[in-house]
Amino acid sequence: MIIVDRALHDRETAGRPISVGVLGAGFMARGFVSHVTNSVPGMRVAAICARRTAQAHDVARLAGLAGFEAHEPADVDAADGGTVCVTDDPLAITRSETIDCLVDMTGSVAYGAMAALDAFAHGKHVVLMNAELDATLGPYLRKRAEEAGVLVTASDGDQPGVQLNLWRFVRGLGLIPRVLGNVKGLQDPYRTPTTQADFAARWGQNPTMVTSFADGSKVNFEQAIVANATGFGVHRRGMLGMDHRGHVDQLVDRYDIDVLRTMGGAVDYVVGATPGPGVYCLAEHPDPAQQHYLELFKLGRGPLYSFYQPYHLCHFEAPTTVARVVLFSDVVGRCSDVPAVEVVAIAKRDLKVGEILDSYGEFTSYGEIENATVVRRARLLPEGLTEGCRLVRDVPKDAPIRWDDVVPPESLAHDLYRHQWEEIEDRSVPTT
């Protein structure tokens, strides 16, 4: 977004930087806070919230900031250009008078939802680098944000945001996007934090989060965000997920255009394609005259044309989203009123009566995307809501886990999910 750099420069010149609160102090937060502090004019991180404040202090120190620990909204307001408030209470950030935008980098559905709802109630925009929350409770969050007159959005840099920017760009060229896809290097649904421990240690990441990438849960959450922002569906549960060792341009021959037209559009991913780890959009143009130009410009003869971005730069691009939201009231992407898809829980191994399910990226389940009509009809349990569910039936390996198989815990996330679908059904939207 080239216009953003000038707008941020103007804010820097005027001495009015955008004030950001960060929820989370993990791998991505470390990069984001340092990047904003040292490389992004017109923006500052005023507060970092983490359950363990020592982690937040480490994030501040890495960025060259002096962290002071405090827990009231007024304390956040006291932060200046060289200091940052460190807290374990997200409400200190969401209720601050000076924070313009909350950036959620936690990966927690319940914790992130609680903070987002309070941010909305106190007039703050929310940028989600929390795919699990977005994919599970997107419609509910969008409704609450709209009622409060603020915005909630996916983020630039995350693969869903990069795809949605590409979708927007391609539509602006007059083409009809038919596939929005993600490029992966590995897909093994049986990976666990134990198998991924060495990789996580090497890069200073959380083993559970690393596992969610390896076992496919993360790409399914990410593609659910894309589907729910565009109305696209999936060919089958878990997407096609083809192995493709060639260039993404060659994917134009691997999809049935008539099926795509019937679907309206599909989200997908491929394993092993180049350039990776990027994203792609396959689109068609309805005008034969413009098809002639596209062939001249080396995009091929159609009917599908390939557009792609060979990278996604995560926290480097996230400040652009903050600026888009605060300065231009523009979102990268947000869920429609009714989700097109949901991410459902699949047994990672044979599960027995009495077991308590853990969360995504752990030992008991992995997530796969499914069309929402199927999810509702078959009463499938969302992967974002597995934690704390007690099994009342055995579930074999690779079988979907259903609501009838579990007793769910009392939790905010489960309450909000129930309210989300009650609101949808009250609007008389068909779900079967």
What's the mean per-residue pLDDT of the chain? 95
Contacts of 66 (CB under 8 A, 6+ apart): 60, 82, 83, 84
Start-end of CATH 3.90.1210.10 domains in the chain = 341-426
Sign for the pseudo-dihedral over CA of 199, 205, 207, 211: negative
Contact 309, 162 (CB under 8 A): yes
What is the structure's pLDDT at 350? 98
CB 300 within 8 A of CB 311: no
From residue 384, how far is each of 160, 182, 255, 340, 417 by CA, in Å? 17, 20, 30, 16, 10
Note the pLDDT of residue 377. Answer: 97
Distance CA 300, CA 201 (A): 44
Which residue numbers in the chain have pLDDT < 50? Answer: 429-432
Alpha-carbon gap, residue 290 to 293, rounded angstroms = 5
Closest CA to 257 of 285, 236, 279, 276: 285
User: For residues 332 and 154, is the Cβ–Cβ distance under 8 A?
Assistant: yes
Strands (E), 216-324: 242-243, 266-271, 279-284, 305-309
pLDDT, position 279: 97
CB 239 within 8 A of CB 279: no
Q: Cα(48)–Cα(337) distance, rounded to whole angstroms?
A: 31
- For residue 402, what are the β-bridge partners? 380
CATH of 341-426, one of 3.90.1210.10, 1.10.1040.10, 3.90.226.10, 3.30.499.10: 3.90.1210.10
Note the pLDDT of residue 1. 58
**What confidence score (pLDDT) does residue 276 get?**
85
125, 353 in Cβ contact below 8 A?
A: no
> CA of 35: how far to CAs of 31, 60, 62, 162, in Å?
6, 11, 10, 19
Q: Which residue has the tokens 């557009």?
A: 307
In the chain, residues under CATH classification 3.40.50.720 are 2-154
pTM of the predicted structure, to 2 decimals: 0.95
Q: Check residue 374 and give its pLDDT.
A: 97
The per-residue DSSP string of 126-158 comes to: EEE--HHHHHHHHHHHHHHHHHHT--EEE-TTS
Determine the pLDDT at residue 428.
57
Topology adopted by domain 2-154: Rossmann fold (3.40.50)
